[in-house]
Amino acid sequence: MATFEKSGKANPAAAVRHAHVIGWGMAVPETVMTNDDLSSFVDTSDDWIFARTGIRQRFIANEGESTATLAYRAAQHALEVADILPTDLDLIVVATATPENIFPSTASLVQDWLNAHEAGAFDLSAACSGFVYALNMASDSIRAGSINAALVIGAETMSRILDWQDRSTCILFGDGAGAVILRASETPGGVLSSVLRSDGSGGDLLAIPSVGSIDANESRAGANGSKLYKMSMAGSEVFKFATRVVSESVEQACQIAGVNVSDVNLVIPHQANLRILQAAARKLGIDIEKFMSNVERYGNTSAASIPIALCEAIEQRRIQDQDHIALVGFGGGLTWASMIIRWGISKPSEQHGSLLNRQRRHVQYRIAKWRSRSRRWRRRVNSKVRDLKA
Ligand code: UT7
């Protein structure tokens, strides 16, 4: 596949540019929480959860894990598969509803830890649709010629914003991260089309109030404090919305890409509920076998669910060269987003990565720690010197 040089050296006008997925990776916490574990502290059962959602278990971050550490691990795997260096990246976007901080962004932390010092970095907030939104932003930037390589991550620690007494929500979610690397290429294919949509009138159906909200004012006044940073959801309303938009937006994305729905080889949807996927498959007239689902083992990992499912689909050899893949996300906002990708990279078995590059990446990760520490130290010394001079 013909690729472009790192930004700055490229001539965007020279050729039509396409954005291809060249790397992928995922990370989940070690701790597994089963439905039976849940039923020991909330009034529910494995039977109810599995029958209504398809979920059997989820991964829950421990004290030492966070949205950024999961994102960092997923990013490292993606760089291995892509066999590029962190310094080759021009942009890092982390789609998340559970960012490490309001700021600095989770993306900036990952940028620092990777030593990706040539990259811009920001977080993107579009709830469970966030990963597809972020992929769209990055692929459009690649196609426009402003960047050549982007790391796009969906990462969440949903366990930190759940009300563990609320059985209607706490049984659904899990923690994890997935990442892909997009790179510019002259080879036709890659991201073919995207559809991004929002209906803010449904914002109250799925929400996590934060510092800037009316609820924060009320909490300062001593009322309603418990609402802050806690998720609320009108499950059945969201369910109806989801089954409608999955089929509609996949059809729209197919139309823009010039691909028949029947030519889609695999749909990789947001993993919220198996029944939503079954209903959407029926509406689209697609065999449910063509819908990737791993909700059984991970639960709903919000913005991380699509890249995690993508990684597993690749691992299970469910994606072949030139296949048409549909990604579709839906969730808080309300937001929804679909994308058609024509897979056009060498097969995973050929993606070993050169030993030299692997070593160079590990050197960069080690340098990242020292670079970051020395920069902080220099800032402190400089400010002390300024204080002394003043
Ligand atoms: O990622 C963002 C997008 N989110 C989604 O897509 C989630 C969409 N919604 C859903 O997946 C489903 O609405 C849920 C799984 C959340 C709920 O399933 P449902 O079939 O819509 O159940 P329901 O809320 O209508 O509740 C049915 C019954 C109620 O009891 P009554 O009133 O009929 O006696 C609930 O109190 O089930 C009860 N219930 C439970 N029972 C045992 C609700 N949660 C539980 C539970 N265990 N965990």
In contact, 71 and 155? CB cutoff 8 Å: yes
Taking residues 94-114, report their average pLDDT: 97
Query: What pLDDT sits at residue 163?
Result: 93
Query: What pLDDT sits at residue 349?
Result: 47
**Using CA positions, which residue lies closest to atom 43 of ligand 1?**
168
Taking residues 294-306, report their average pLDDT: 98
C-beta of 300 in contact with ligand 1 (< 6 A): yes
Taking residues 324-343, report their average pLDDT: 98
> pLDDT-derived band of residue 298, with 50, 70 and 90 as boundaries?
very high
Give the predicted TM-score (pTM) of the model.
0.94
Q: Is 128 a catalytic residue?
A: yes
Chain-centre distance for alpha carbon 63: 22
Query: What pLDDT sits at residue 260?
Result: 97
Spacing, Cα 235 to ligand 1 middle (Å): 6
Q: Which atom of ligand 1 is nearest to the CA of 44?
A: 47
> pLDDT-derived band of residue 21, with 50, 70 and 90 as boundaries?
very high
Whether the bond into 104 is cis, omega within 30 of 0: yes
Mutate to test the pocket of ligand 1, among 45, 239, 271, 276 (most ligand atoms within 8 A of CB): 239
Least confident of 16-30, 99-113, 166-180, 224-238: 224-238
**Length in residues, the chain:** 390
In contact, 290 and 161? CB cutoff 8 Å: no
> pLDDT-derived band of residue 228, with 50, 70 and 90 as boundaries?
confident
C-beta of 128 in contact with ligand 1 (< 6 A): yes
pLDDT above 70: percentage of residues in the chain? 91
Has residue 170 got a pLDDT over 80?
yes
Query: What pLDDT sits at residue 352?
Result: 58
**Using CA positions, which residue lies closest to atom 47 of ligand 1?**
44
C-beta of 202 in contact with ligand 1 (< 6 A): no
Taking residues 311-337, report their average pLDDT: 97
Query: What pLDDT sits at residue 8?
Result: 45
**Using CA positions, which residue lies closest to atom 20 of ligand 1?**
52
Has residue 348 got a pLDDT over 50?
no
Mutate to test the pocket of ligand 1, among 48, 50, 52, 276 (most ligand atoms within 8 A of CB): 52
Has residue 214 got a pLDDT over 90?
no
Query: What pLDDT sits at residue 124?
Result: 98
Considering only CA atoms, give the Rg of the chain. 21
Q: Which atom of ligand 1 is nearest to the CA of 300?
A: 1
Which long-range contacts link 258-265 to residues 24+ away (Cβ below 8 Å)? 258/192, 259/192, 259/324, 259/340, 261/285, 261/286, 262/286, 263/324, 264/290, 264/324, 264/325, 264/326, 264/340, 265/290, 265/319, 265/320, 265/323, 265/324, 265/325
36-76 pLDDT tens trace: 999 999 999 999 999 999 999 999 999 999 999 999 999 99
Q: Among the options 115, 254, 300, 324, which is catalytic?
A: 300
Q: Among the options 20, 77, 115, 128, which is catalytic?
A: 128
> pLDDT-derived band of residue 377, with 50, 70 and 90 as boundaries?
very high
**Using CA positions, which residue lies closest to atom 35 of ligand 1?**
168
How far apart CA 194 and CA 306 sit, in angstroms, is: 15
What's the burial of 261, exposed, middle or buried (CB within 10 Å: 0-12/13-18/19+)? middle
**Using CA positions, which residue lies closest to atom 30 of ligand 1?**
168
Has residue 6 got a pLDDT over 70?
no
pLDDT above 90: percentage of residues in the chain? 86
Spacing, Cα 150 to ligand 1 middle (Å): 38
In contact, 105 and 75? CB cutoff 8 Å: no
C-beta of 229 in contact with ligand 1 (< 6 A): no
C-beta of 331 in contact with ligand 1 (< 6 A): yes
